[in-house]
Structure 1
Amino acid sequence: MATPNNNREKLRRRPVRQRSFTRDIEHVAAETYLITRLTFTLLQYLGIGYRWITRLLALGCYAMLLMPGFLQVAYVYFFSSKVKRSIVYGDQPRNRLDLYLPVDVSEPKPVLIFVTGGAWIIGYKAWGSLLGLQLAERDIIVACIDYRNFPQGTISDMVNDTCQGISFVVNNIASYGGDPNRIYLMGQSAGAHISACALLEQATRESGKGDSVSWSISQLKAYFGLSGGYNLLDLVDHFNNRGLYRSIFLSIMEGEQSLKKFSPEIKIQDPCIKDSIPLLPPIILFHGTADYSIPSIASEQFADALKKAGAKTDLILYDGKTHTDLFLQDPLRGGKEDLFDQVVAILHSNDSEAIAKDATAPPRRRLVPEILLQLARKISPF
């Protein structure tokens, strides 16, 4: 029989649950309204065009072929206690990040800050979940930063969000088991462009040509750019021909007059920021030679510009690899893979115990049958 005290306790708890449920409903309604409004805004920019429509259809087929792997990754992403989702790092929409933690964080672990791609339009922090989960298995903490996409934000908003996300990680990662002296930054595709812009903006600020800073480039051990584009002037027509129309691309980049400002390859050559160059960490660029979304010449030219400016730079090209091979098909295939092994080796450099564990680590598990991977590669819209 229930006692009066128990009844009072139940009554106290019920309003709390009701308020929580109400807040959840309000949050879902607000997010649904926002996404719907932004979708219609985006469609107004895109108009009716066969290029982007065929790309969208190809994207749907591509995702269906890789769905066996995506579902396995999604299950771990949503249900693993080692994935900390949607940590708030700022006060703007999409100022959230996901953390992927190793099983054992009794010792400080190296940290990789990852900025996902998505053509500046469909980027989302969960796109980095496959990389995050696989690196966490190697005792590396991964922080995947979300940022406002177009039309919710333009390139300035994306760069500002990324800077703020990096600041949060470098100043708070120790409380999650990360080593603040071993933090690395990586961007993929559009994320490589955005993070490179953020890196140069931070270097400019630190050299006394901008606002005060809440983090320092010296806190980053290296920067990895994966399949990125760094000279927007060279890419406008290329993107237009592939369905990212010139008008919408210029809207994302805040007009034609801003293309140079947000082109790291051009900015690095500006004599006005020469004092910022020595502040940059080592920069390592990765690119596939069969990449048709952003041709590998983009990384080659950026590497040349960095070297001429005096920055420490390495360029690693992967023969015959496409835009999605390095980031999706190869990781879903499992086994050994050069890009993954090279990144892990850099993050574990000067850690003999970690290097020894890497040498005996089992190959990564295959998540998708080979025939589906080959079909997805053929119809990939990227």
Structure 2
Amino acid sequence: MKYFYSFYLLIISFILLNNGTNAGIIKDLISWAKNSNTLNNNLITSSNVRYGPRSKDFVDVYRNKLDTENLKPCVIFVHGGAWVKGDKYNFIEVGASLSRNGYVAFLPNYTLFPEGNIEDMVDDIHRMIRWVWYYGYLYGADRDRITLVGYSAGAHIVSLTIVKTALKMYNKDEILGILPRLEKLVLISGPYNLNDFDQLTKLFTNDKVENGIVQKIFSELHKSVEVSPTIILRNIFMNGVNIDFGMPKIVFYWADEDNIIPESSVQDFMKEIRRVSPQTQIEYIFDKGNHSNHETLLMGARDGKEQYQREFLNIIRA
């Protein structure tokens, strides 16, 4: 495996020298190569378990197979990637860290653009949640203690899934079915209002030359009728209607040096949740003064940095 890792780094270095614009992708590849041993450890991981019919519908499960006496709380972690990229393999160490700390972790892939649009992504995550409730016990997971976590675009898809389900909205021409009750929803650095095009282009690129491509992507993604959870709730004109989102608590995280997602994205969504669901407990974790940006927390955790893994666990446990 050592020789494979060295060879892989050599390939990555060659790509870097020939294309400096792929730095983010290169970091993902390095992380995968570094942590790929974990995927091959059958005592830790069950990889590529199918949870749905689409080509991306596979999940990696992280748990301690030697400790099966009691069911454990579980975490479903949904990766980001601006709806067009990203992979569960980018967060191997996040899953392994959760397993080491007493959780069963489920890291799914889901449909991305251009293979599908936002409704397809919602459909995948909805199916994933139900799959964990039905089959999670086979991996030692307690289905009554499910924490759902989304990061960046993953936080958007997760929150949209929860909102549309709670309001019995249509998705792919069918009303979304009931989801199991969750212990907690954790949303990390997510965009919850997709109408703010100028801000969302930053998820793709800071190069204005590429904005034409980004606009095409957004026009395809927006073939769904409702894609912004904040706007969906804002269109509910009655206050205090006591919508049940399917969990008692929602945790939001945002870092003060996030130059991609503005704090208003979080604040506006929290405001609407409080208005239409006053019984839902909201905790806002504002990461201030720690030089943390949009990626610091999760990239640090996936790169094995104890400080950020500990911080991520504290957010999960909040």
- TM-score band w.r.t. shorter chain: 0.7 to 0.9
- The residue number in structure 2 matching 1:183 is 146
- The residue number in structure 2 matching 1:58 is 23
- Asked whether the equivalents of residues 114 and 128 of structure 1 are also in contact (C-alpha less than 8 Å), the reply is no
- The residue number in structure 2 matching 1:40 is none
Could you tell me how far apart the structure 2 residues matched to 1:155 and 1:293 are? Answer: 20
Distance change (3 Å), C-alpha of 1:153 and 1:331? closer
- Asked whether the equivalents of residues 126 and 179 of structure 2 are also in contact (C-alpha less than 8 Å), the reply is no
Q: Which residue among 236, 240, 253 is the counterpart of 2:201?
A: 240
Could you tell me how far apart the structure 2 residues matched to 1:330 and 1:125 are? Answer: 14
Could you tell me how far apart the structure 1 residues matched to 2:20 and 2:273 are? Answer: 33
Residues 95-137 of structure 1 deviation map (CA, whole Å, 9 limit, x = unaligned): 1111111241210000101111111011222223221100100
1:335 lines up with 2:306 in the alignment:
yes
- Asked whether the equivalents of residues 98 and 313 of structure 2 are also in contact (C-alpha less than 8 Å), the reply is no
1:162-241 correspondence to structure 2 within 5 Å: 162-205=125-168, 211=175, 213=177, 215-218=178-181, 220-234=182-196, 236-240=197-201
- The residue number in structure 2 matching 1:97 is 59
TM-score (norm 2): 0.80
Pair member with larger Rg? 1
Amino acid aligned to 1:262 = V
Deviates more, 1:287-296 or 1:243-252: 243-252
Amino acid aligned to 1:136 = S
Q: Among the aligned pairs, what percent are the same residue?
A: 23
Q: Which residue among 121, 125, 132 is the counterpart of 1:158?
A: 121
Deviates more, 1:187-196 or 1:127-136: 127-136
Could you tell me how far apart the structure 1 residues matched to 2:27 and 2:140 are? Answer: 37
Could you tell me how far apart the structure 1 residues matched to 2:119 and 2:20 are? Answer: 26
Amino acid aligned to 2:52 = G
- Asked whether the equivalents of residues 32 and 90 of structure 2 are also in contact (C-alpha less than 8 Å), the reply is no
State the SS of the aligned residue for 1:233: coil
Distance change (3 Å), C-alpha of 1:134 and 1:172? same
- Asked whether the equivalents of residues 298 and 312 of structure 2 are also in contact (C-alpha less than 8 Å), the reply is no
1:328-367 correspondence to structure 2 within 5 Å: 328-330=299-301, 332=303, 334-337=305-308, 339-346=311-318
State the SS of the aligned residue for 1:165: helix
The CA RMSD over aligned residues, in Å, is 2.8
Deviation at 1:195, TM superposition (A): 0.7
- Asked whether the equivalents of residues 113 and 221 of structure 2 are also in contact (C-alpha less than 8 Å), the reply is no
Deviation at 1:73, TM superposition (A): 1.5
Q: Which residue among 229, 232, 245 is the counterpart of 1:264?
A: 229
Amino acid aligned to 1:290 = E
- The residue number in structure 2 matching 1:136 is 99
Q: Which residue among 224, 242, 260 is the counterpart of 1:293?
A: 260
Residues 260-293 of structure 1 deviation map (CA, whole Å, 9 limit, x = unaligned): x110111122327976722442111111111122
State the SS of the aligned residue for 1:167: helix
Could you tell me how far apart the structure 2 residues matched to 1:229 and 1:212 are? Answer: 22
Could you tell me how far apart the structure 2 residues matched to 1:82 and 1:145 are? Answer: 16
Q: Which residue among 72, 82, 85 is the counterpart of 1:109?
A: 72
- Asked whether the equivalents of residues 242 and 276 of structure 2 are also in contact (C-alpha less than 8 Å), the reply is no
Could you tell me how far apart the structure 1 residues matched to 2:90 and 2:43 are? Answer: 19
Amino acid aligned to 2:156 = H
Amino acid aligned to 1:277 = I
State the SS of the aligned residue for 2:175: coil
Distance change (3 Å), C-alpha of 1:212 and 1:237? closer
- The residue number in structure 2 matching 1:254 is 222
Amino acid aligned to 2:218 = L
Give the number of the structure whose residues are more often strand, by fraction: 2
Deviation at 1:343, TM superposition (A): 3.3
Could you tell me how far apart the structure 2 residues matched to 1:175 and 1:63 are? Answer: 30
Give the number of the structure whose residues are more often helix, by fraction: 1
Distance change (3 Å), C-alpha of 1:339 and 1:267? farther
Q: Which residue among 39, 43, 46 is the counterpart of 1:77?
A: 39
TM-score (norm 1): 0.67
Distance change (3 Å), C-alpha of 1:166 and 1:252? farther
Distance change (3 Å), C-alpha of 1:167 and 1:176? same
Deviation at 1:296, TM superposition (A): 3.0
